[in-house]
Amino acid sequence: MTIAVGDKLPDIKLTKAGESGPEPIQTSGYFAGKKVALFSVPGAFTPTCSAKHLPGFVEKAAELKAKGIDEIVCTAVNDAFVMGAWGKASGSADVTMLADGNGDFAKAVGLVMDGSGFGMGSRGQRYAMVVNDGVVEQLNVEAPGTFEVSSAEYMLGQL
């Protein structure tokens, strides 16, 4: 079942690339007490994700924060090392990269896609949500092969 507006995020472990290696992040604690713009991409360093999705949130970070967003988080079914490297390569200091290495979060929110035709296996779908104190306030899931409703610009229009 797909997560919906009004639902609490599932309590899942994600991983952040830290100074001394991978750091486990428990979603129940991490998303508590703050308003987060969370977006998911099918994969780090992939074309649309690198050319449009992540750069849009980097570019619009100040505007999102001015509208009440405390933190911007990107997640993908990649390991913490890849997510950390992608974050550094993209100049995205304003975006926290959280790895969903095994796809547990994507499965728990019901937003999995089959990328096996591209040699990518099971991945998270492209989407964006606003999470307030662990509860989904907005959810915008892209149709396959599109990039419209999960952009930073679209989110800004909803805030």
Catalytic residue numbers read: 49
- The helix/strand/coil state of 46 is coil
| DSSP secondary structure code for residue 126 in this structure | P
- The helix/strand/coil state of 62 is helix
User: Count of alpha carbons within 13 Å of 116, Cβ hemisphere only?
Assistant: 3
Q: Which of 18, 53, 52 is nearest to 39 (CA)?
A: 53
Residue type, 84: G
> Using CA atoms, how far apart are residues 3 and 136, in angstroms rounded to an integer?
8
- The helix/strand/coil state of 37 is strand
Length in residues, the chain: 159
Q: Which of 126, 108, 117, 137 is nearest to 37 (CA)?
A: 137
